[in-house]
Amino acid sequence: MRSSSGPPEGRPTVLSVRQAVKRYGGLTAVDGVSFDVGKGEIFGLIGPNGAGKTTMFDLVAGSVAPSAGQILLNGVDVSGEAAHRRIARGLGRTFQIPKPFPELSLLENVLLARQDQTGERLFMNFLAPGRVRAEEAAARDKAMDLLDFLLLKRLAHEPARVLSGGQRKLLELARVMMADPAVILLDEPAAGVNATLLEVIIDRIRAINERGVTFLLIEHNIDMVSRLCNRVLVMASGQPLCEGTPEEVSRDPRVIEAYLGGA
């Protein structure tokens, strides 16, 4: 494989994956994958089914521990850190199938994504009730602003169960933004989304990216990948196959073969 090209010049590296390996018994789901993502990039992770993309996300997010290799966030090795510690370091993640609390309102769902501890808030309620009230009001304003930004404000007080698949993806983005992430892992944002909402999602990802947020994106929708990503890593059978611009990788015969082989 051609060595990793690295982030475009002038962009500091925010996420580094170094020789990541994940074994499940006799199966190696991720087999020596390395890449660097620069600040403000939208970096795509693509490949046929079973290539190891979701496992790679799990390794970056900290929901599974690597068998070997390192994950660095802003130069700090977080390989041994739990997922919640990585969230506190500015790493956000959305899931392929978002599962909001169906009976809670959109606003309540977004508010639950706050990073401070409820227990701490309860304790502070006795000590400084005024401050707690002010913080609650600020969080509510922020959640409403995010719902507005993600075109869901008019549904803020509706239960999340009324949302379509695409709207759930937008709510998921609002939830992840509540923690002010510097890097967002987006798992198949286009899956199960109708064409109109897909345009909204693409537009909002761009708008979030323009605010300086870096994205790592898993997506099977190649049109979306081509429109959003500046660089792409193709994986197949757990291994890195090639890396480049979406245009470069789509012309690579190894990529075509990997997809046809998996079809």
Ligand X SMILES: Nc1ncnc2c1ncn2[C@@H]1O[C@H](COP(=O)(O)OP(=O)(O)OP(=O)(O)O)[C@@H](O)[C@H]1O
The number of angstroms, rounded, from the C-alpha of 260 to the middle of its chain's C-alpha atoms is 27
Which tokens in the block code for residue 25? 């018994």
Minimum distance from CB of 207 to ligand X (Å)? 27
* Between 64 and 151, CB nearer to ligand X: 64
Minimum distance from CB of 55 to ligand X (Å)? 3
* Between 49 and 196, CB nearer to ligand X: 49
Minimum distance from CB of 79 to ligand X (Å)? 18
Minimum distance from CB of 134 to ligand X (Å)? 43
Residues 6+ apart with CB under 8 A from 126: none
- Interface residues with ligand X (CB under 6 A) are 24, 27, 29, 47, 49-55
Q: Which residues of 225-252 are buried (b: 16+ CB within 10 A; e: fewer)?
A: beebbbbbbbbbbbbbbbbbebeebbeb
Contact (Cβ atoms closer than 8 angstroms) between residue 128 and residue 136: no
Residues 6+ apart with CB under 8 A from 32: 19, 20, 21, 69, 239, 240
* Between 49 and 118, CB nearer to ligand X: 49
* Between 64 and 72, CB nearer to ligand X: 64
- Residue identified by tokens 């933004």 is 177
* Between 24 and 101, CB nearer to ligand X: 24
Contact (Cβ atoms closer than 8 angstroms) between residue 246 and residue 220: no
Give the DSSP H or E segment for 163.
Answer: none
Minimum distance from CB of 91 to ligand X (Å)? 18
Instruction: Report the DSSP pairing between strands 183-187 and 214-218.
Output: parallel
* Between 208 and 235, CB nearer to ligand X: 235
Minimum distance from CB of 171 to ligand X (Å)? 22
Which tokens in the block code for residue 35? 């890449």
